[in-house]
Amino acid sequence: MHNGILSEVGNTPLVKLSRVFKDFNFEFYAKLEGFNPGGSIKDRAALNIIMNAFETGAIGPETTIIESSSGNMGIGLAQICAYYGLPFICVIDPKTTKSNIQILKAYGAGIDYVSEPDPDTGEFLRARIDRVKELLISIPNSYWPNQYSNQYNFRAHYQTMSEIVAQLGREPDYLFCATSTCGTVRGCSEFVRDKGLRTKVVAVDAEGSVIFGDRQAKRLIPGHGASMVPELHRPDLIDRFIHICDLECIVGCRRLVRQEAILVGGSSGAVFMAIDRNKEIIEPGATCVAIFADRGERYLDTIYSDSWVSTHFKGMSHLWLEQKDQQLYATAMS
Ligand SMILES: Cc1ncc(COP(=O)(O)O)c(C=O)c1O
C-alpha cells in the first residue's frame, strides 16, 4: 500500500467506446492510463522499480536517482522522487518537449542535457545512456533504475492486465498494446500465459523502431518505439505485432477526439489505428481492449497542432486514410 498521491497509481478506468467501431460487431474498450497521477502508464513501472529498490536496500533516503528519459518515465520518476524527497536527475536530449522539461522541473527534477548524439551510431539514446553511466560514477550514492532492463518495470504490468480482466469480468479476446521498453506488453502477456487466458496479445510498434526488426528510421512521435531492442523484449509471448507510422498516429488521435471526445497521446492513436486496420477480420462478438498509455495534453504542440502537422507531413498522401481524415489533412496541410 502506498501513501498520498502514490496511492492513486493504477486502478485506471476501462471505458467502453461504442462510436468509433459502431458499424462492426465487436466490443471495444480502452484502458485510460492517463488517469495515473503523473499522467501516464509509466507511473506504474516507476513506482514498482523505486519501491523494490527501497525494499532490497539498493537505495536509501539520500540516494540520487538518475534515469535517461525524454518523457513519461522521467515524469513518473520525478513524481515519486518528489514524494520521497529523493534527488532525481533526468538525462534528456533535444527531442524532449518544452512542456515535458517544464513538468520535470516543476516536480523538482534536475535536468542533464545531452546535446550531441553518439558519434558511432548517431543515436541520442546511446549518448544519454553513456551520460547516465558517467553521472553514476561521479555522484556517490546514486542509482539507475534502467527501465530497459529492470524486471520491476514489466512486473508492474501484471497488475495492469489483472485490472483489465477484473473490470471486464472476463478475459478480452484481444489486447492491443504499444511498445517501447516492452515493459507493458511483457507484463500483460506474462499474466495471460500464467493464468492460461485465451487473450491474443498484439504489440503495436512505431514504423522505424527496431524492436520487431524494422529498419531504423526517423520518428517524430515520442512514446512508443525504440532505437535498440530492449532486454525486456520477449517476442515469444506476443501473438502479433503491427507497425504504425507517425501520420497514422496523428489520424488515430484526431479521430478519437472527434468521435469519442478522448484526448490521448500518440501511442494511443497508434494502438487505435492498429485495431482499425484489423476491424474487418476481428471476429463478431469479440472483445478488444486497447491500452491508451497517456493523455493528449503533452502533444498539443505536435499531434494537435495543425501547423506542426502541416510542416512535417505536407504533401504526404496515404490511401488508407478514411475520407473524413483525408479532408482533415487537406485542411490541416493547406
Ligand atoms: C506514451 C507511451 N506509450 C507507450 C509506451 C511504451 O511502454 P513500455 O515502455 O512499457 O513498452 C511508453 C513508454 O514510455 C509511452 O510513454
Q: What is the pTM of this model?
A: 0.94
- Closest ligand 1 atom to Cα of 267: 3
Say whether pLDDT at 199 is over 50: yes
Determine the residue of 160, 180, 205 to mutate for testing ligand 1's pocket, defined as the one with the most ligand atoms within 8 A of the Cβ atom: 180
Which helix (DSSP H) or strand (DSSP E) does residue 113 occupy? strand 110-113
202 CA to centre of ligand 1 in angstroms: 15
Is any ligand 1 atom within 6 A of the Cβ of residue 325? Answer: no
Query: In terms of pLDDT, which residue wins out, 321 or 103?
Result: 103
pLDDT score for 95: 83
Question: How far, in whole angstroms, is CA 331 from its chain's centroid?
Answer: 29
What are the tens digits of pLDDT across the range 143-154?
Answer: 999 999 999 999
pLDDT score for 315: 66
334 CA to centre of ligand 1 in angstroms: 32
Cell (9 digits) for 99: 512542456
DSSP code, position 301: T
Say whether pLDDT at 334 is over 50: no
Which has the closest alpha carbon to 28: 205, 279, 281, 296? Answer: 279
Phi-psi region of 106 (alpha: psi -120 to 50; beta: other; left: phi over 0): alpha
What are the tens digits of pLDDT across the range 118-159?
Answer: 888 778 888 999 999 999 999 999 999 999 999 999 999 999
pLDDT score for 120: 82
Is any ligand 1 atom within 6 A of the Cβ of residue 268? Answer: no
Query: In terms of pLDDT, which residue wins out, 95 or 180?
Result: 180
Residues near 179 by beta carbon (within 8 Å), at least 6 away in sequence: 185, 203, 204, 205, 209, 211, 212, 224, 225, 226, 233, 241
Is any ligand 1 atom within 6 A of the Cβ of residue 40? Answer: yes
What are the tens digits of pLDDT across the range 36-95?
Answer: 999 999 999 999 999 999 999 999 999 999 999 979 999 999 999 999 999 999 999 988
Is any ligand 1 atom within 6 A of the Cβ of residue 71? Answer: yes
- Closest ligand 1 atom to Cα of 268: 3
- Closest ligand 1 atom to Cα of 45: 10
- Closest ligand 1 atom to Cα of 180: 11
Burial class (CB in 10 A: 0-12, 13-18, 19+), 304: middle
Residues near 186 by beta carbon (within 8 Å), at least 6 away in sequence: 154, 157, 232, 233, 234, 237
96 CA to centre of ligand 1 in angstroms: 15
Domains of the chain: 4-36+157-313 (3.40.50.1100), 42-143 (3.40.50.1100)
Q: What b/e sequence results for 88-127 when a residue is b if at least 16 CB atoms lie within 10 Å of its CB, and e otherwise?
A: bbbbbbeebbeebbebbeebebeebebeebeeeeebbbbb
230 CA to centre of ligand 1 in angstroms: 12
